[in-house]
Amino acid sequence: MEQKIRKVLKELAQLLIRKNKKYGNSALEPIRIFSNANPVEQLKIRIDDKLSRVSQGFGEDPDEDTLLDLMGYLVLLRIAQNEQKDSTTSDDPS
């Protein structure tokens, strides 16, 4: 089982790294043309959209691994939340 977990995590890491190279760090540093929402909120919206596609049966696109994409967004959300927490903590004068 450990090897299976590592295999999926490796696929996920490769996907995130490939998309980051292709699109830049748009998930954590959005260009903010239409929305001023912070990265955490924007990622939650992307996750909601992805979950909606899955629940409506639109997650069957052969060119897209919806579950892997969803896991990727959850990882990015975790990173964004950690960065948000770190920046809040570093701004705290106490």
For 44, 57, 88, the CA distances from 76, given in Å and listed in that order, are 10, 24, 18
| pLDDT above 80 (res 90) | no
Residue 45 is which amino acid?
I
Q: Taking the model in full, what pTM does it have?
A: 0.79
DSSP assignment of 21-88, as one string?
A: HHH-STTTS---SS----HHHHHHHHHHHHHHHHHTT----TT--HHHHHHHHHHHHHHHHHHHHHHH
| Domain boundaries along the sequence of the chain | 2-91
Q: For residue range 26-69, what is the model confidence (pLDDT) as tens digits?
A: 888 887 788 888 889 999 999 998 888 888 776 566 656 788 88
* Selected residue with higher pLDDT from 59 and 13: 13
State the DSSP code for 2: H
Structure tokens at 51: 């979950």
Per-residue pLDDT at 85 exceeds 80: yes
